Chains A and B, each alone.
Chain A
Amino acid sequence: MILQAAINWQSFYFLLFAFVACGFALAVVFSNNIVHMAFFLTLSLGAIAGLFFLAGAEFVGAMQFMIYVGGTLVLLIFGVMLTAQSKFVSMKTAAGEWVLGAILGGALFVLLIRAGFAVPEWNTPRSDAASLVAADAQHATAIGGAVTGYRVDRLSEENPVLRNGMSGYLLPFEIVSIHLLVVLIGASYLARTKKRVKVAV
């Protein structure tokens, strides 16, 4: 191919990661083997982490890898192993359901795309996109400050209330921590030792 202009490497990597993510996500859907699905999902999530990095959200990207891929997916794989049965390969969905799912999924996709591309503000890229480099990141500090309410990106905010404290994420943070505690307790209760049912062969 003959390039008319210089390659925008951000766009290139974006497309790469996007195709990987979407492709493997589709592979998850179309795969019948649960282990395959787990693997494809891992790859897809990794690609998404890359997308995060590209968008300048390194913290979240790192989190994605550590927690999502390294924690949640491993958990899922544990689940796969614990619920293994000899016939797990052959749980096939009926064709009609595929059709219905495709139709609905397609409709939803069309809707979302249309919504996504309808707003001009989102459609047009930034004029100074070339200099779109997150040089002075220090995001972790900034995120920490934002959690407690000190927004470094809103220092020029006129409204002093919005500037200091009211737009903090402390409360959700606390809620989430309590939530995690509750989930821990609940999950451990749910997964306690019970009478084992004979595994059907």
Chain B
Amino acid sequence: MNLITEPISVSHYLAVGALLFVTGVVCMATKRNAIGVLMGVELVLNGANLNFVAFGSELLRATNLGLDGQLMAMFVIVLAAAEAAVALAIALNFYNNHSTIDVDRADDLRG
């Protein structure tokens, strides 16, 4: 109940961000569908964004306008979009060549 009555600190944001991050990582690690892996990547990036924003916000310092955090988050979002585009192109190529989207089939680089 303290959580509802007490004001939020940066740590709480960090906790949420951490959970999202870990969830994203587990999603990347366990999904066999390539698109699922990409979704995990999105989750990871979002968790990181949350952290950035939290650190750049007024929650940390009074003088903060949150500019740094927001800008970093903005860049991350842009890069995430770009990366999603390329990753999708790769996945589509893979799907076209192997007619399956199962990443476990993509073991041509096996040593």
| A166 contacts the other chain (CB 8 A) | no
A183 to B40, CA, bound (A): 20
Among A72, A112, A179, A187, the residue within 8 A (CB) of B42 is A72
Q: Do residues A57 and B70 form an inter-chain contact, with CB atoms below 8 A?
A: yes
- Chain A contact residues: helix, strand, loop or mixed: helix
Residues of B within 8 A of A (CB): 1, 3-16, 18-27, 29-36, 38-40, 42-43, 46, 49-50, 53-54, 56-60, 62-71, 73-75, 77-86, 88-93, 95-102
A173 to B75, CA, bound (A): 8
Q: Do residues B20 and A22 form an inter-chain contact, with CB atoms below 8 A?
A: yes
Q: Do residues A190 and B93 form an inter-chain contact, with CB atoms below 8 A?
A: yes
Among B7, B70, B91, the residue within 8 A (CB) of A132 is B7
Total chain A interface residues with beta-carbon distance under 8 A: 105
Which residues does chain A contribute within 8 Å of B40, judged by CB atoms?
Answer: 28-29
- Chain B contact residues: helix, strand, loop or mixed: helix
Q: Do residues B30 and A93 form an inter-chain contact, with CB atoms below 8 A?
A: yes
Which residues does chain A contribute within 8 Å of B12, judged by CB atoms?
Answer: 14, 18
Which residues does chain A contribute within 8 Å of B43, judged by CB atoms?
Answer: 25, 28, 41, 44
With contact pairs A11-B7, A14-B12, A22-B23 given, residues A45 and B42 touching in the complex (Cβ less than 8 Å): yes
Q: Do residues A132 and B9 form an inter-chain contact, with CB atoms below 8 A?
A: no
Which residues does chain A contribute within 8 Å of B46, judged by CB atoms?
Answer: 44-45, 48, 68
A119 CB to nearest B CB, Å: 8
Can you list 14 A-B contacts with CB-CB less than 8 angstroms, sorted by A residue number? Answer: A7-B4, A51-B53, A56-B59, A60-B74, A72-B84, A79-B38, A91-B32, A108-B22, A109-B22, A132-B59, A153-B63, A154-B63, A169-B75, A194-B96
